[in-house]
Chains A and B, each alone.
Chain A
């Protein structure tokens, strides 16, 4: 709140006390709010819209790129795996076609073939020849497996039916993970035999282990039941079941997104490897893949926030500046209107005073002559000469007529000077004229008014009407400030060459320091509830400036105030248009 109080613009609490209710030309707060709202909307809506659109487009583009890259990686990986298996199956197929059953039953021959396959293709661990009953008739390899019966093994049944089989990874009699590739060869006697090879799964593992998968990714093979066929970094060892569901069959490489129990968003690419039980899966963490995008996103959001902050700052600054300027212009407008109103009021008072004065003067003159004649007759006729009572009564009547005459002459004089421009002025007379109107109030309220005008002050050129108004305003304020029985001192003196000062000192309530700084500001008033407009001293200040002078105030609460008017003895003859025309005199 304190921070807001410091930043609060001038117009925020502005109330046009002089305009009265329902005469406000502007609601400055609403004007400011409207300017801020409209400008902000016009500036921010396109910026935010473009940023959001760009955000969405870029996000989509990055996501699409991630999916595409994953699909490409899956596609590039399943081919070597498929080729590896196909190559070995074809080699076995070649062996059965190139060798007779009897030749293959020769252990030396089979061992030689195994050695050739190991050297030519690699990955072969052993070879076995199995007759149609499922019994292994010949074996070349590191284990003692000759004579084993495979008739109940799934792969044997499968190869018997389909002619070829690539098995899942299984432990088998060896108790180590391996796969089997088996091919059937039909003999002319309607019987058949099977050539079976064990393939080292390490070759698979190496193939997938060397794959560079971004986004903390994992690549592995599973079978169609969801069991791992190669080790996985995240999902376990060979023959463990993966926690992901087995993807639906697709003849093509597919990529999809999913959220899994640990709330990780995953990008999963897979491909079914043809004629094998294997599914190649590459699993990436989406958050990792989107990290470059996150960085861009933070930069974008940062740029957006900075732009919005700058725009809002500029909008607030410009709107505040403009509304403040409108406030100043409006205050000047109201000030001018009030000056015109004040001038017209003074002119009206002058015309009224002159009218009243000459309307009274004629009957007053008749009374004067009639009473004068009575006095003449009393003075001449012997029968009234000795009657002092009658003479005193007549003198009293004549004295009252004289007092009325003085008042009407003062009114006429005051009204006359409201119109007069630059002329020779006697400062003592001007002060006397002004105080003449307030002498009765001073008498009733027992206010002591002392005037000190030294004889060395010459007559000087000035606008007597303006001087009257200046002095009248200040003296009126002094009368308002002092209590009954108080005192007001008016002292004129020369201030160096070409200047005189008139100091009005009262022993009234004084003005607080905080108000003293703003006392000449238009519309500043501590008496708004009593009908004050806050323009009296402002107009007085303007009038003093028009005379080429200055107005200074010193005040202390509880002790009193001093208003010092300093004016030049010779003023430049420049008349404002408002003096001539606006007042309409």
Chain B
């Protein structure tokens, strides 16, 4: 499973990537939308974990751009703003698989990733 982590909080995203690596998940991380676009263009990922609020390009805009590059890429949104219920309300509009509120429990995150992969394989 290849995962791209995108968040402007470098300490968060780099640590999360390291923890995922320890669990045998190949995780790359970037801190800007532009870097994420480059990464997706140069490498194939199964899932992108995007922060909703980022400078310059927000997670929602980034998702639209990444869909053009890799239409089969799946998305999980994470945010420190609002509540899970807010994201659940917005999920149908954004087309994201899951929404998680910071601080994220890594076991929950891995569980969601696995569910996405199972759904993807079924399709």
Contact = CB atoms under 8 A, between A and B. Distances in A.
Interface string B90-118: 00000000000111111000000000000
B9 interface: yes
Given A366-B11, A409-B101, A416 B86 contact: yes
Contacts of A404: 103
A360 B102 CA distance: 10
Given A365-B80, A416-B82, A372 B9 contact: no
A364 B101 CA distance: 11
Contacts of B84: 409
B12 interface: yes
A412 interface: yes
A372 B21 CA distance: 13
B82 A369 contact: no
A361 to B, nearest CB: 3
Given A365-B12, A376-B19, A413-B85, 8 more contacts: A357-B80, A358-B80, A361-B80, A365-B102, A368-B102, A369-B16, A402-B103, A413-B83
Most buried by A among B15, B101, B103, B106: B103
B18 interface: yes
Nearest to B17: A369
A416 B81 CA distance: 11
B12 A409 contact: no
A495 to B, nearest CB: 29
Given A362-B12, A413-B83, A367 B22 contact: no
30 contacts: A354-B81, A354-B82, A357-B80, A358-B79, A359-B80, A361-B80, A361-B81, A362-B9, A362-B12, A362-B102, A364-B80, A364-B102, A365-B12, A366-B11, A368-B102, A368-B103, A369-B11, A369-B16, A369-B19, A369-B103, A370-B11, A370-B15, A372-B15, A372-B19, A372-B106, A373-B15, A376-B22, A376-B23, A404-B103, A412-B83
A380 interface: yes
Interface in A385-416: 401-402, 404-405, 409, 412-413, 416
A549 B80 CA distance: 37
Nearest to B22: A376
Contact of B103 (A373, A405, A413, A416): A405
A377 B18 CA distance: 10
Contacts of B103: 361, 364-365, 367-369, 401-402, 404-405
User: Which of A372, A401, A402, A413 has its CB near the most chain B CB atoms (within 10 A)?
Assistant: A372
B103 to A, nearest CB: 4
Nearest to B23: A376
Nearest to B8: A362
A409 B22 contact: no
Contacts of B18: 373
A580 B9 CA distance: 37
A358 B11 contact: no
Interface string A27-57: 0000000000000000000000000000000
Given A361-B103, A366-B12, A369-B15, A416 B80 contact: no
A66 B113 CA distance: 124
Contacts of A412: 82-83, 101
A370 B13 CA distance: 10
A98 B12 CA distance: 166
A373 B9 CA distance: 16
Which 4 A-B residue pairs are closest in the complex by CB-CB distance?
A361-B80, A368-B103, A365-B102, A369-B15
B12 A369 contact: yes
Contacts of A366: 9, 11-12, 15
B94 to A, nearest CB: 18
Interface string A329-355: 000000000000000000000000010
A412 B103 CA distance: 14
Nearest to A414: B83
Given A376-B19, A380-B22, A401-B103, A358 B82 contact: yes
Contacts of A367: 103
A368 B101 CA distance: 12
Interface string B3-40: 00000010110011011001100000000000000000
A442 to B, nearest CB: 24
Interface string B59-95: 0000000000000000000011111111000000000
Contacts of B101: 361, 405, 409, 412
A229 B53 CA distance: 133
A365 B101 CA distance: 9
A373 B19 contact: yes
B95 to A, nearest CB: 22
A375 to B, nearest CB: 9
Q: Which of A358, A359, A362, A367 has the most chain B CB atoms closer than 10 A to its own CB?
A: A362
Contacts of A359: 80
A360 B86 CA distance: 18
Nearest to A368: B103
A139 to B, nearest CB: 150
A430 B102 CA distance: 23
B74 to A, nearest CB: 21
Contact of B81 (A358, A369, A372, A377): A358
A369, A376, A402, A412: most-surrounded residue (chain B CB, <10 A): A369
A145 to B, nearest CB: 148
